[in-house]
Each structure stands twice: as C-alpha cells, then as structure tokens.
Structure 1
Amino acid sequence: MLTRRTFIRASAFAAAGLALGAPFALTGCTANPNVLRVGTKIDVPGFGFQNPETGNIEGMEVDIARELARRIKGSPDALQVTGVNVTTRGAMLDNGTLDATLATFTITDARKKSYNFSRPYYTDHIGVLVKKSSGITDLKDLDGKTVGVALSATTRDKLTAAGDEIGIHMKFAEYSTYPEIKIALVTGRVDAFSVDRSILNGYVDDSTMLLNTQFAPQEYGVATKKSNTQLADQIDAAIAAMQDDGTLRSLEERWGLVDDAPAGDGKGGGQDA
C-alpha cells in the first residue's frame, strides 16, 4: 500500500520519466536481437512500479518479462525495460521502439486488429475508488458525479453502460497516468477513480476505499507487433509454459495479486486498462 509520501514521490518519478542507472530502471531501447525490449507501467504497484527509493521498476509484469527473456533469449538479464503508459504502450510497438508490452493491456477484439496478443497471463475486474468522506458507497451514488479514468481505456464506455442499466448519469475526466487520477481524487477534481481493481489496490490509503462493485473479468495479454509473428508465437508458448509450471501463480502470490473472490454480477461489462 502506498503511503502519502511514497505516492507523492512516485508520482514525481512517473511524471518526469527519469532514467536512473540501476537494474531495471528506465532505459533506452536500442535494437539488439539478443535482448528483449519490453514496455511496462511505472505507476501501477504490484504490476509495474518505479520504486522511488531505488529507481528500479518492480512488479509482476517485470518478473514475467524476465521469465520471457530467460525462456526466449536464454537469460533473464537479456532484457531492457522501458516505462510506458496507456497512450505510449501501443505507439512504441508501432514505431519499433519495443518488442513487446506487458502493461496491464487488456485483450479486446478491437486491439487484436492492431496487435498480436498472447494468451492471458492475468484476469482482473473493473473497480471504483472513492474518498471515505464522500458518502459514496455504491454505483448508484455516482449519479451526477465526475469519475476519473485513463485516456484510451474503455472504462468510460463500460461505466456509462452500467449507469444506463440502473438509471444514473456520470461525467468523466480523462488523464494520462494513474497518479494523476489519484491526485485529482485527493484534491476533489473528481469524485471517483475507476480502473481495474488490482490497480486501484495500489492507490488505497487511509482516506480512500474501494466500492464492492466490480464488473466482468478482463484479461491481460502480452502485446507484440502484428508483423512479428515469430516472437508472438514464442511469447505465447512461454506464457503457456508459465501457466503449466506454476510460475504465473507464484508471481501473483509474490506481488499480492491473487484474488480468489467470486466476480460480481457483471453488469456493465469490463474495463480495458
């Protein structure tokens, strides 16, 4: 869980995009056939988060990237990690800066038209984070309220559909990074912060809480460029092997991402982080 001090420092790192000379710090991605160039988030605790104390990027998706490098390139150190967000993770695949992204990238039919996706390595559900003092305890309480969401995510459409089902209307404010949305929530510019629940768990503090509401499962996959089918096949095979040998489950446990609770009623569909 983020303390206020850690959160503020982490937000500064995310905004500045600093490159620090430490293992798995943000790094440039010069093409090297012996190295796997992977984009991960730097603002999602548990998945991809730049530690403000060390500058290192840490999380389950970074560890999966290390496993992919080991299984495909022969060494877990044959890896370059670059920080990405919801607007850059696809663009950096498109321009050849990255070979793959592991960045809470939800698999959708629309996205499959642009990228190859591996089989899912993690399944999540949409959630809503609010301030405890807000009086918001259920989705219906968001009627007339402003919800902070990420640019290029489908959260807005999914929440709108969920609201239509129960007869409420929400307003939305879009941001490039999750720390920006959390700051907007803390400062009162938005009334709620919505993205996948496991992401929101990293932004819970003494003044905020997750609503019990959650929606249909959404599956994260490793994205690669459409033209690189060989790498896509290698990654998919490696993810399958990691499922079979228990590596994925072990990493979920290591990073506190195991969620054996049953899904909610599924109203409104899921969220594409």
Structure 2
Amino acid sequence: MFKKKYLALVLLPLLLLLLAISFLGQAGATTSSKSSAPLAAGVQDIVDRGVLRVGVKQDLPNFGYRDPENMQYTGMEIEIAKKVAAELGVKIEFTPVTAQTRGALLDNGQLDMVIATFTITDERKELYNFTTPYYTDAVGFLVRKDSKIASNWEALDGMTIGVTQGSIQWGLLEEIAAEKGIHFNFRELGSNSEVVVALAARRVDAFSIDQSILSAFLGKSNQLLDIQYKPSEYGIVTKKSNTELANYLDQLVQNWNKDGSLQTIYNKFGLTPVTEISD
C-alpha cells in the first residue's frame, strides 16, 4: 500500500509536467504558424527555386554598374534587389538589360523582376506591373561645353536631339515642342554610349534622358543644361500576369520608404531624389 502511494506521489508530478510541456509546445506551434503567413504562389515559386532572377543595368554608375575588373555589380538598384532576395531568403542572379531587352526578358520568363531605371508610365502599366516608385529622377539634356547652348527652350529650337531606343524622350519632347512653338530633329540610337559618341562627333546637338544617366557622362567635354522637363519615377517591374509577386514587392518598397531603408541606400551612393521640376 505504501509503495502504491509513493509511486502515485512521484508519478503524478511527472505526468503533470509532461502535459504542461506538450501544451506549451502546441501553443508555440500555433503562434509560429500565425506569425508567418504563407507566401502567395508567385512568390513561393522563387523561394522553392532558391534563386531570384533580376534584370539590372550594368553601365550606369550609382544605379546599376558592373565593374569590368572584378565583374561585381554595385549601385542603388543592386542594393534594393539584394534586400528583396534577403527577404525571401534566396540567392540572387543578375542579368544585364537595356531599354530594348528588359521587357522581352520578363515576358519570356527569364527574369522574375527588373529594377533598371524603368520609368513608370500609363502606357507601360498596360504591359507590366510596377511597384510604388523607389526613386524619382528628372529628364534633362547633356550638351558639349563648346556648343555654348543656353539653358532655355528657345536655344534648343531646331537642334538634333539624341535619344535611345526604347526610351520615352522622343514623344515627350514632341509634346513640349508643340506647346512652345519650337521644333526638334531626332536621332535614335541603340544605347546611351552610342548617343554620347554621336554627341562627341557632332551628329547630335544634345542627349536627352534621365539626369541620373546623363551624370555618368559628365566631364571636361560635356555638361548638363539647367532644364528639367519631366519627373521620372522608377518602379520595380514584373510580368503582367504575376500580380502576386508584384503585390509582394510593392509592399516591400512601401515599408522601406517608411522605415528609412531607401534613404539609407540613397545616402550610400550620394543620390538625392527629385522633388520638384525647374524648367
């Protein structure tokens, strides 16, 4: 009889302890499940693959640049893409893109997203998903210093403006020319570098595109005119059908804008978003 009572006194606390541990384990599992909501299918696919495939610029210092010596990518857009990959817990794979190739690489499924100074427009929204802007630039003009072109629209009347294929500057400038009663000629070339070469060779009088791009070509020979004619808001771009990934990325950009993460990246590369346009 004594042994039975002794065993009951010893076993009962052990049983209660085991029940408590089991209950706490179940409660912890429930809490964990609620705090980590399942990812949407379009996002989970990337996690399952283990690699985020991103299209970036490789010739634009401070935004997307690939160092020819070590072949490493640097720039604001590179940093943002890395933050996305870190959020997903996956590796990152960069693919260099241009204004002509970035859309096609998205459409054929070779890329998950593009972050490459891709300006948001209503027309482009019909074809692709854009996040909330992560940076705002302004469109301007690069000219030769010896051209002595003044910083006003009248001085550009009749000039030949160099633009890159796939950019929106041609259409924008035609609208402005009609408003101001002036005229532009245009020469469209395949890349930014080709337009700069044409500028040096005097085949064009000015190069017009976003000022962040033009700043890469400043030097002894070239300068920016003090004219800005259009804000350029850059968004992260995804395939039109992949709304799940688009929504996920948009939320990340909004959060990073609020918590100061984007500002930290701007500061790292000495970038200042445009807040107002002066023409």
Match for residue 70 of structure 1 among 71, 76, 86: 86
Kindly state the Cα deviation for residue 253 of structure 1 after the two structures are TM-superposed.
1.5
Partner of 1:15: none
State how far apart, in whole Å, the 1-side matches of 2:198 and 2:256 are: 38
Aligned residue for 2:142, secondary structure, equals strand
* Cα gap change, 1:146 to 1:32, in 2 (>3 Å): farther
Partner of 1:92: 105
Match for residue 180 of structure 1 among 194, 198, 211: 194
- Asked if residue 51 in structure 1 is aligned to residue 67 in structure 2, the reply is yes
Match for residue 124 of structure 2 among 101, 111, 115: 111
1:62-85 deviation line (CA, Å, top 9, x unaligned) = 1110011111x215xx11010000
Letter in structure 1 aligned against 2:70: T
State how far apart, in whole Å, the 2-side matches of 1:146 and 1:216 are: 19
Sequence identity (%) = 44
1:190-239 deviation line (CA, Å, top 9, x unaligned) = 11111011111111111111000002322110010122122111111111
Give the number of aligned pairs. 233
Partner of 1:13: none
- Asked if residue 224 in structure 1 is aligned to residue 250 in structure 2, the reply is no
Match for residue 39 of structure 1 among 21, 44, 55: 55
Aligned residue for 1:190, secondary structure, equals coil
Letter in structure 2 aligned against 1:185: L
Partner of 1:25: none
Aligned-residue Cα RMSD (Å) equals 1.8
Partner of 2:164: 150
Letter in structure 2 aligned against 1:192: A
Letter in structure 2 aligned against 1:110: E
Kindly state the Cα deviation for residue 132 of structure 1 after the two structures are TM-superposed.
0.6
1:85–1:176 Cα contact (<8 Å) kept: no
Give the TM-score normalised by structure 1.
Answer: 0.81
Gaps of 5+ in 1: 1-30, 266-273
Letter in structure 1 aligned against 2:144: K
Kindly state the Cα deviation for residue 260 of structure 1 after the two structures are TM-superposed.
5.8
State how far apart, in whole Å, the 2-side matches of 1:88 and 1:245 are: 33
- Asked if residue 208 in structure 1 is aligned to residue 222 in structure 2, the reply is yes
Letter in structure 2 aligned against 1:141: A
Letter in structure 2 aligned against 1:60: M
State how far apart, in whole Å, the 2-side matches of 1:254 and 1:151 are: 30
State how far apart, in whole Å, the 2-side matches of 1:52 and 1:249 are: 28
Kindly state the Cα deviation for residue 256 of structure 1 after the two structures are TM-superposed.
1.8
Partner of 1:7: none
Aligned residue for 1:202, secondary structure, equals helix
Gaps of 5+ in 2: 1-46
Partner of 1:236: 250
Letter in structure 1 aligned against 2:156: L
Kindly state the Cα deviation for residue 32 of structure 1 after the two structures are TM-superposed.
7.1
Letter in structure 1 aligned against 2:77: E
Partner of 1:254: 268
1:14-66 deviation line (CA, Å, top 9, x unaligned) = xxxxxxxxxxxxxxxxx972211000111222111122332222211111100
> Of Structure 1 and Structure 2, which has the larger fraction of its residues in helix?
2
- Asked if residue 195 in structure 1 is aligned to residue 216 in structure 2, the reply is no
Match for residue 140 of structure 2 among 127, 133, 140: 127
Q: Give the structure with higher Rg (CA).
A: 2
Structure 1 segments of 4+ aligned residues over 4 angstroms from their partners: none
Partner of 1:271: none
